[in-house]
Structure 1
Amino acid sequence: MTFNRYIAFRMITELIGAAACITQVYYNNNLNGIIITGVIALVWILGEIWTVIVFNRANPRTDELSDMHQYSAYRFAMLTLVIALTIIGFAGMLYTLVTRVPIEVGPMVLPSLAMLALAIADARYLWLEHDGTSGGDDED
């Protein structure tokens, strides 16, 4: 199993975790929502454990280009998360000013965005490792 495949599997499990958080945003106060979220979260937890145990990536590769790509990917994800939070906050403020109705953001929105940011970081890393659109590949 290559490191890039490990990152791809990790990205998929992070997307499942984000789906669990988003499900709880929409089904916040009823038993069905908690059950659905619990099932999705269980799949996410099992996926994370399976990815770590089966692929055993205790010592990922550490060449300079890969490290630079990981740094760039996480910086990109952090910037994306900050932009998303700014847009949500600004839109909520404008909505409140126009309608005079306060807006509430559910407590699971932030964990949902954080899980999506992790998945975005992994996707960006894989894109950088494959040289974007030029078709190159930096695989071991």
Structure 2
Amino acid sequence: MTFNRYICFRAILESIGAIACMLMALIGNNLLGVIVAAIAALLWIGGEVWGMTVFRRQNPRRDELSDMHQSAAMQFALVSLVGILVIVGFIYTTLNLIDRSIVHIIPPMLLPALAMCALAISDIRYLWLEHDAGTEGDDED
């Protein structure tokens, strides 16, 4: 398995976790959302440990272009997450100012959903940058 294929599987798992958390935020069943998110997180952690042990030994990634792509992807995900959090905060603040009779509370599962979504965005952006670069090597999918 190549590093890029591993990143693709990781992005899929993170997307499933984000969708599960978002559905639980919309449905309102936070216990089920926590269980699904915990399972996704444990699979993600297991994959990270496996990836670190396998890819450090077999296919070390030390080229500058890949490092630049990882850095750009993380910065993109961070800026996206901060932007979304600002928008969500602004919406809920505005709702509370408009209708003072009902307190609008941000669903607890929304924050883990946004965090997992940011991780997936980072991985997808990295794969996009790697694909656009057209680097030749054994990690190209």
TM-score, normalised via structure 2 length: 0.77
How many residue pairs end up in the alignment? 133
Partner of 1:15: 15
Q: Does 1:138 align with 2:135?
A: yes
Query: How far apart, in 2, do the equivalents of 1:50 and 1:89 lie?
Result: 33
Partner of 1:108: 109
**Which stretch of the first structure deviates more once superposed, 104-113 or 93-102?**
93-102
**Which stretch of the first structure deviates more once superposed, 59-68 or 2-11?**
59-68
Mapping for residues 92-103 of structure 1, pairs under 5 Å:
92-100=92-100, 101-103=102-104
Runs of 5+ unmatched residues, structure 2: none
1:51 deviates by 7.3
Distance 1:90 1:117, change over 3 A: same
1:81 deviates by 0.2
Mapping for residues 1-140 of structure 1, pairs under 5 Å:
1-29=1-29, 34-35=31-32, 38=35, 41-42=38-39, 45-46=42-43, 49=46, 53=50, 56-58=54-56, 60-100=60-100, 101-131=102-132, 136-140=133-137
Distance 1:66 1:88, change over 3 A: same
Query: How far apart, in 2, do the equivalents of 1:58 and 1:17 lie?
Result: 26
Q: Which one-letter code corresponds to 2:84 in the other structure?
A: A
1:82 deviates by 0.3
Q: Considering only aligned residues, what root-mean-square deviation do their CA atoms show, in Å?
A: 2.6
Runs of 5+ unmatched residues, structure 1: none
1:16 deviates by 1.7
Q: Which one-letter code corresponds to 1:97 in the other structure?
A: L
- Asked if the contact 1:73/1:125 (under 8 Å) is kept, the reply is yes
Structure scoring higher RCO (CA < 8 A, sep ≥ 6) equals 2
Describe the SS at the equivalent of 1:106. Answer: coil
TM-score, normalised via structure 1 length: 0.78
Q: Percent identity?
A: 47
